[in-house]
Structure 1
Amino acid sequence: MSTLNLKALPGVCFLTAMTLVTAMGDQIVLKDGDRVTGSIVKKDGQTVTILSKNFGAVTLKWDDIQTVKTDQPLNVVLAGDQTVKANIQTQDGRVAVEAPGGPRVVEPGGIVALRNDAEQRAYERFRHPGLLDLWTVNGSLSLAGTKGNAKTLVITTPLNFARVSSTSRTTAYFNSIRSSATINGVNAQTANAIRGGWGYSRNLTSRLFLNGFNDYEYDKFQSLDLRVVLGGGAGFHAWKGKNGTLDLVGGGAWNREKFDPAPKAAFTRNSAEAYWGDDLAYKLSARTSLVQSFRMFNNLSTTGQYRMNFDVGATTALTKWLTWNVSVSDRYLSNPVPGRLANDLLYTTGLGFTFAR
């Protein structure tokens, strides 16, 4: 007759407990018979992300899932933007939502989204951000120069701020260039321009939005002491894909320009304008992103005159915060001060930084 080894009992209990713990977790069975066990992170559209015990984060298609059963309650979004905290389990091809207020059974397509608590907090922060939340800052300070027979120095400081939530977008920018050259003992400035401003847009529907903006500009070699533009209008989200967005905008603006074309007397021009253009953001690769903006301002006070603004930039992430930036900023004025060119181009490249909160 065999006897129970009491010394081995703790080890047996430990192994049994570990087996039970391992068996716990959210369970997903695919239509091809594969099984994934872990913790469901989210369902976004037709994509389900589960943190697997053996394979890390795994992405699955919702339509490829045969059955699903959760071990811990998730934030379940149902049709009509109703969110409940509940476990879910597939029953006869439908999904049982075991909510505290009473269970219900819905079709698989009735599950709009799933989020664990961390994803839900991030979602709520995105929908109702604080004043300092969701800001992304990109910028750089670039220096270039020579020393010898000729001395030159070029300083550029592009900065961009963006705050994007589910209902609004706030942006601000600052760009300047200052350069000088000394040749044969004679020093002279060769460029001195500053551009800056801000913009705000708010969604009315999933496609339509209202926007407003305020721009400032100084350009010594265009004899422009200050240009102030205040405008607003409406826009249309023409395209939104996995790698980018395209918005079309249009509206009206008021433009005040003060010129000082010495030795001639300074003068000021005020004009109403109609504007139209586009904003494009596109992810070229996992590390490189492209942004482009175009605006045409047609003068309504003096017909036939116009301005054009074109900006494009690319950012490549070298590390988490260090980037390589390239930007081009072009301004065209159909009626410049006599003796000045109609077009001014500002381009910069160099190392920069990015910061997100």
Structure 2
Amino acid sequence: MFSKTLLCLALCVAATSALADTVWLKNGDRLSGKIKFYDGRKLVLATDYGGAIALNWDKIATLESDQELLIKEGAVTGERAKSLRPAEPGKVTLVNGDAPKTIELASIEQILKPKPLVEDLVWRGNIDAALDYKRADRDTDDYDVSLKTQARHGLWRHHAEAEYNREFQDEVVTTDDWSAEYALDRFVTEKWFWQGRLEYKHDRIEEVRRQRTLGTGPGYQFWDNELGAFSVGGLLNRSDYEYDNGERDNFYAVSMKWDYNRYLVGKSVELFSDGEVGKPLASVADYTFDATLGLRYKLTDWASLNMKAEKDLVSGAEGDLDETRFSLGFGIGW
């Protein structure tokens, strides 16, 4: 009976090992786990002994996997492989029924799990919430919720952001505003892209009640990989303002936007920053500055704590604006 139990355990272990993906390195090492994806010259292998490991693509000799994977040799087209089989160093064999196909590893740009509708969709984002209660001579309650997400497929990349902020002082509303932004990037080369952007802000307290901005311009992606991303863009914008007295105004401006994030300490800490500095082409203001800088600490694969500082500055306009806000909150990511 004992020997039969050992035999069953051995068969289970063998079956589990057979289902594991394998990566052979050029130095002769062999790693087993589950291939998550390959992008930005990094292959992410999920292991039960070291968590998610990012491997340099140029250090890999060949691969093996029993998963169905989407193999992209270009920015647009891809081929579904029912499994991967090892080949000579620098190559891998795609198994698709009766006609296996061996290709160069250097020709592969992405490896993804195929999605039901858009096969090569890569979607990530965060929702952060912060609450601040102060009880003193003047009681203050501050609520802030923000969303930032990005989806990419082929040569297209979508950005969406939204934020809501409400503040009370002694039960009187002193801040009540929300904003939403959508941007679409079309990559012209691996690094260069063209962006179109639409932004809307609504404020129930301040003099400027509504602000609509439409902009377009070129951008450059310095890097975008498993450890982070950094891109900048130059935009020509048209902004339309509606004031609390019913008057309207519009003007054109040029601006520079940036979006940066970097994972540190084994991907448990993320440093992030995004913002925009602009110069109106009319005499509305000397310049505008809107930026966020923060840290995010991952508690689990999806939960995190975040700490950030936000700066809003309008110089040279009627009633110059200079506000700095600090917040500490909880978020979820995907």
Q: Fold-level match, TM-score > 0.5? A: yes
Native 8 Å contact 2:73 2:110 kept in 1:
no
AA partner of residue 79 (structure 1):
E
Native 8 Å contact 2:284 2:317 kept in 1:
no
Q: Which residue of 1 aligns with 2:215?
A: 232
The answer to whether residue 331 in structure 2 is matched with residue 354 in structure 1 is yes
Cα deviation for residue 90 of structure 1 reads: 0.5
The answer to whether residue 192 in structure 2 is matched with residue 209 in structure 1 is no
Paired residue for 2:322, among 344, 347, 350?
A: 344
The answer to whether residue 96 in structure 2 is matched with residue 99 in structure 1 is yes
Native 8 Å contact 2:285 2:314 kept in 1:
no
AA partner of residue 144 (structure 1):
K
Native 8 Å contact 2:223 2:230 kept in 1:
yes
- RMSD over aligned CA atoms reads 3.8
* Counterpart-to-counterpart distance in 1, 2:262 and 2:284: 37
The answer to whether residue 141 in structure 2 is matched with residue 155 in structure 1 is yes
* Counterpart-to-counterpart distance in 1, 2:314 and 2:89: 66
Unpaired segments ≥5 residues, structure 1 = 1-6, 182-188, 260-265
Per mean C-alpha deviation after superposition, the further-off stretch among 34-43 and 119-128 is: 119-128
Q: Which residue of 2 aligns with 1:262?
A: none
Q: Which residue of 2 aligns with 1:164?
A: 150
Secondary structure at the counterpart of residue 109 of structure 1? helix
* Counterpart-to-counterpart distance in 2, 1:60 and 1:217: 47
* Counterpart-to-counterpart distance in 1, 2:322 and 2:96: 63
Q: Please, what TM-score do these two structures have when normalized by structure 1? A: 0.71
- After superposition, the Cα gap between the structure-2 partners of 1:155 and 1:125, relative to the gap in structure 1 and judged at 3 Å, is farther
AA partner of residue 94 (structure 2):
V
AA partner of residue 158 (structure 1):
D
AA partner of residue 342 (structure 1):
D
Q: Which residue of 2 aligns with 1:30?
A: 25
* Alignment map for 1:1-357 (pairs within 5 Å): 10=4, 14=8, 17=11, 21=15, 24=18, 25-51=20-46, 58-70=53-65, 72-80=66-74, 81-85=77-81, 86-91=83-88, 94-100=91-97, 102-115=99-112, 119-121=113-115, 124=118, 127=121, 136-146=126-136, 151-166=137-152, 167-179=157-169, 192-205=174-187, 207-217=193-203, 219=205, 224=207, 226-241=209-224, 242-258=227-243, 268-283=247-262, 285=264, 286-300=268-282, 303=283, 305-306=285-286, 308-317=288-297, 319-320=299-300, 321=303, 323-332=305-314, 334-336=316-318, 341-349=319-327, 351-356=328-333
Secondary structure at the counterpart of residue 202 of structure 1? strand
Q: Please, what TM-score do these two structures have when normalized by structure 2? A: 0.75
Native 8 Å contact 2:306 2:331 kept in 1:
no
- After superposition, the Cα gap between the structure-2 partners of 1:311 and 1:65, relative to the gap in structure 1 and judged at 3 Å, is closer
Cα deviation for residue 60 of structure 1 reads: 3.5
Between the aligned residues of both structures, percent identity stands at: 12
* Counterpart-to-counterpart distance in 1, 2:292 and 2:90: 50
Native 8 Å contact 2:115 2:121 kept in 1:
no
AA partner of residue 105 (structure 1):
T
Cα deviation for residue 165 of structure 1 reads: 0.5
- After superposition, the Cα gap between the structure-2 partners of 1:308 and 1:19, relative to the gap in structure 1 and judged at 3 Å, is closer
AA partner of residue 79 (structure 2):
T
* Counterpart-to-counterpart distance in 1, 2:298 and 2:269: 8
Q: Deviations over 1:86-127 (max 9, x none)?
A: 332214764333322622222232333444xxx434995872
AA partner of residue 353 (structure 1):
F
* Counterpart-to-counterpart distance in 1, 2:246 and 2:34: 68
* Counterpart-to-counterpart distance in 1, 2:4 and 2:256: 73
Secondary structure at the counterpart of residue 120 of structure 1? coil
Native 8 Å contact 2:198 2:212 kept in 1:
no
Count of matched residue positions in the alignment of Structure 1 and Structure 2: 315
AA partner of residue 104 (structure 1):
K
* Counterpart-to-counterpart distance in 2, 1:97 and 1:290: 38
* Counterpart-to-counterpart distance in 1, 2:299 and 2:271: 14
* Counterpart-to-counterpart distance in 1, 2:122 and 2:10: 46
